[in-house]
Structure formats: C-alpha cells, structure tokens
Chains A and B, each alone.
Chain A
Amino acid sequence: DTGVSQDPRHKITKRGQNVTFRCDPISEHNRLYWYRQTLGQGPEFLTYFQNEAQLEKSRLLSDRFSAERPKGSFSTLEIQRTEQGDSAMYLCASSLRTGTNSPLHFGNGTRLTVT
C-alpha cells in the first residue's frame, strides 16, 4: 500500500496564474475526493469521483476550478486565474466502494500560496 500521493507538495504562484495539482489514489480505490483546508479550519468537501465520473461538486467549487479523472485512476485539480483566497491546503482522498463507511485515505496535500 503506497498510499495516496499528491504532487506538488507546495506551490507558490502569483495572483491570476493558473495552477494544476495531481493526485494518485491507492490503486484499487475507485472513489476519489478533493477537499480544501484553510489555516485553522477543518477540511471542506470540494468534489467526488466514482471511477471517471464526477458525481458531486460543492458550491465552493467556482467556475475557476475544474477537476478531472480521465481514466478513473489519477485526478487533476486545476485552478484558473488564482486569487489570494485560493490559498489553502488541497487534500485528495480515496476509498473503495464497499459501502458508505469505507474509510477515506488522505494524501499529504498540496499547499497553495497565492501572492
């Protein structure tokens, strides 16, 4: 079990630039989630994939955000025209579809700083 892998670990960008993050879930996991965590807060749900289908998107995910999971394996999260308010830790998690309580395995996140 190599765990959930996220890349990069840290990203510093200037306001207005586009950024893309990658998540590689645990290989047999068919469910993949993106959460966002700002300083001093718990994570907030952004979006959910089952295989390659994006089945749920939070209202937090403005039209500047897009997530894909093209082959049902790795996923990318792109933020266009970044704003300072986008600065946060972006966490990816994966799980098996064996029931609603199948545990989430989180990656170590990508910390985004928008200057």
Chain B
Amino acid sequence: TQLLEQSPQFLSIQEGENLTVYCNSSSVFSSLQWYRQEPGEGPVLLVTVVTGGEVKKLKRLTFQFGDARKDSSLHITAAQPGDTGLYLCAGDRNTGFQKLVFGTGTRLLVSP
C-alpha cells in the first residue's frame, strides 16, 4: 500500500506548456524529496523540502511542501523535451535514516 498518492499518473504535453504534479498523503512527513528517474536508471534527487509551506526553485521547477507537511507539489514552467521522465515524491517519516516512502510516480512526456 502506497502512503503517497501522486497525480496525475501520466501526463503528455507539448513543449512550452506548464504543468503541476501533486503528491498527497494522510500522513505527516518530516521532509519530502522529489526524484526524477529515466528508463533503466536509478532515481536522481532533485530537491528536499523540510519546512511546512517551504517553496524551493530549481530553474524552471518549483517545489512546495504543504503547510501541514502531508502534501507537496511540483510545478514545471515552459516544459522541455529534456524534462521527460518519471517523477517520484518520497516522504521521510523521521526514522533517523532514509527509510523513504515513495509515491506512485508521475510519468511525464514532453513532445517537441
């Protein structure tokens, strides 16, 4: 059972469009991480958000942690084909090590 639900599961858009991916849970997390995974490769960390309400920007990507630390969003502005991949959120339940609970994933396809 996945404690973190992501939506949408699949998104196909044109280059230049904006999009938002959501990561929701009924559980509180001490921090939340976003990863991107390419086919045949391991996930690569994009960002970690720690404080409720925190917003972090990584070029065209904006990450927000919900005030109650139960949800998060990833917004991509002017998507490019290089953004194509599987986006995963992962919550840390403050176990003292990285025993992460991963979301179900959002597969993004950006066409030229």
Contacts and interface: CB of A to CB of B under 8 A. Distances in A.
A25 interface: no
A21 interface: no
Contacts of B40: 108-109, 111
A92 to B, nearest CB: 8
Interface residues of A, number: 28
Contacts of B105: 40-42
Contact of A43 (B43, B48, B97): B43
A41 B45 contact: no
A38 to B, nearest CB: 11
B94 interface: yes
Interface of B: 2, 4, 30-31, 33, 40-45, 48, 50, 88, 90, 92, 94-105
